[in-house]
Structure 1
């Protein structure tokens, strides 16, 4: 056999080996991706990673946005919301009005107003007949925080700030009672005036307690409602006692 005859045979043998290698690689890739041939994406199923924003959600975000809203409209809307919450407190009923759109502006205004009215004289006066501003502020907010923590520990379903909102707004009847007592004390200070003040404060105390429990009672487990209502009763009782025992300086 000559070298000329062996050369074509070597070439054909190499071609056969290369063909076998290619066939093995193709068969391996087919086995690897065999399961992908049965996968199909339906036209009804949205593909993840879509960056387009639906028109409905975009318009809803624009409606809820207040970036382009004038400051006057924002303030008026917030004042209307606070006024509606005051109405719900003065006419208490089982409602979620104070829980859906909670805020702390109303409680802050009521707390400051009550503290100012309980300020019987100048801050430096030792003959001041009422507690100082900081004392009232701390008692109101610290008491509300303690009641809220107690409610959460008992298994309450409302959030921390929702509870603070309800407790703060329900001080409104007691703030009205304080205003009436101040007017009565300006007129005269005698036994009849004290009895009228006692009736007014007791009525507003009951009003505040009933209003707060109307909003908070349903958030507590039925077998623990008494444990949740009792601190609320004490909270408003302390505030009522400060109002009733208040005497302005000089009396």
Structure 2
């Protein structure tokens, strides 16, 4: 007599495991498995090389100084390059602005005579650079805000050199020849600053609006040049 099939609810039967039979399923080796769970060695080495977390303070300062020096060389030898636009920073413009403000201060025993002039130069440089940048953006320029500030600030370098030369010339006796030499130096350095800045900023403007973008740059460096030329210790 055949045994009657026991129902699942019978107390004498043990329930089968829920995932019973999965062990009998074999995964074919022909099925490709995508993705990797390990990080490639080259990627880890590259990430370690570009990280500055383990870099010493001295190496960081030297690297930044070398970067500022390279940008100064790009301004002294103006050419179409994306170095100032790609690796922009505001250290160079800050150094040049402080140097201009300090050299334009008149030697006086009264502290009130020197303070406002420092603030005046500082405000003229940064307010003028911000105004030119906003004008460039409104004209449809494809350059970022800080990239424009970086270029305009670094291109003050020729005018800073002109101020240093003029201060050395003013150590001699003042006269018409003295003034003509200072005028020549300031004009040359003014043209140098305008050419250097337009070499970096001209291509970022629409072709039919380049003149509107260059004109404020001309005025910006003209005001700084006038301050240098009219300076008397």
Query: TM-score category by the smaller chain?
Result: 0.7 to 0.9
Aligned to 2:85: 99
Q: Which consecutive residues of structure 1, in runs of 5 or more, have no partner in the other structure? A: 1-41
Aligned to 1:27: none
Cα displacement (A) at 1:93: 0.8
Cα displacement (A) at 1:125: 5.5
**Residue 53 (structure 1) aligned with residue 42 (structure 2):** no
Aligned to 2:62: 76
Question: Greater helix percent: which structure?
Answer: 1
Count of residue pairs the alignment pairs up: 208
Residue aligned with 1:140, SS: helix
Aligned to 1:207: 192
Structure-2-length-normalised TM-score: 0.82
Cα distance between partner residues in 2 of 1:205 and 1:107: 16
Aligned to 2:5: none
Cα distance between partner residues in 2 of 1:182 and 1:135: 19
Structure-1-length-normalised TM-score: 0.76
Cα distance between partner residues in 2 of 1:65 and 1:57: 12
Shift in CA distance, 242/62, structure 1 to aligned 2, threshold 3 Å: same
Aligned to 2:126: 141
- 72, 75, 80: which one pairs with 1:86? 72
Cα distance between partner residues in 2 of 1:236 and 1:75: 30
Cα displacement (A) at 1:131: 6.7
Aligned to 1:191: 176
Cα distance between partner residues in 1 of 2:181 and 2:90: 32
- 178, 184, 204: which one pairs with 1:219? 204
Root mean square deviation of aligned Cα = 2.4
- 164, 170, 175: which one pairs with 1:179? 164
- Segments ≥4 residues shifted beyond 6 Å: none
- The one-character-per-residue Cα deviations of 1:60-82 (angstroms, maximum 9, x if unpaired) are 22111111112111111111111
Cα distance between partner residues in 1 of 2:139 and 2:130: 14
Larger radius of gyration: 1
Shift in CA distance, 52/222, structure 1 to aligned 2, threshold 3 Å: same
Shift in CA distance, 127/149, structure 1 to aligned 2, threshold 3 Å: closer
Residue aligned with 1:67, SS: coil
Cα displacement (A) at 1:151: 0.7
Shift in CA distance, 192/126, structure 1 to aligned 2, threshold 3 Å: farther
8 Å Cα contact 1:170/1:212 also seen in 2: yes
- 55, 73, 96: which one pairs with 1:110? 96
Cα displacement (A) at 1:44: 7.2
- The one-character-per-residue Cα deviations of 1:150-204 (angstroms, maximum 9, x if unpaired) are 1111111111111100000000000000001101111121110000000000000
- 28, 32, 35: which one pairs with 1:43? 32
